[in-house]
Structure 1
Amino acid sequence: MSFNFNQYIGFLLFVVIFLIGFWLLCFLCSVLLYWLIGVIKERFKERKSTKNIDSSSQN
């Protein structure tokens, strides 16, 4: 069983496309997690600051 040149190029093309997709997926997932964690932190900060403002205005 031997590969000819066209099969070799096709295999390399498949591997390159697969690896590009894999690393793109990893990059997008990490960016989305980073973004979601930042949004959650900001909402907690905002909620905490509004609670502090409400409690200080009641005194």
Structure 2
Amino acid sequence: GAVRNAVAMLGLGLEDAVMIASAAPAAFLGLSAARGSIAPGQAADLVLLDGERNVVRTWIDGRE
């Protein structure tokens, strides 16, 4: 959804679209210490996309 739309509708590159869908909302909500990036100490909230940027799998806190 959000990443695919940001690329298609806004013409953003994939890196910028992912930032808009992850780090920016986490920062806005004051959750940057725990969410929004892939780094030690961060929650393992991940999404696997296919070539068309459709969601294939998701993990929340490291659990699928």
Considering the TM-score relative to the shorter chain, is it more than 0.5?
no
Larger Rg: 1
Instruction: Quickly name the TM-score band, shorter chain normalised.
Output: under 0.3
Structure with a larger share of its residues in helix? 1
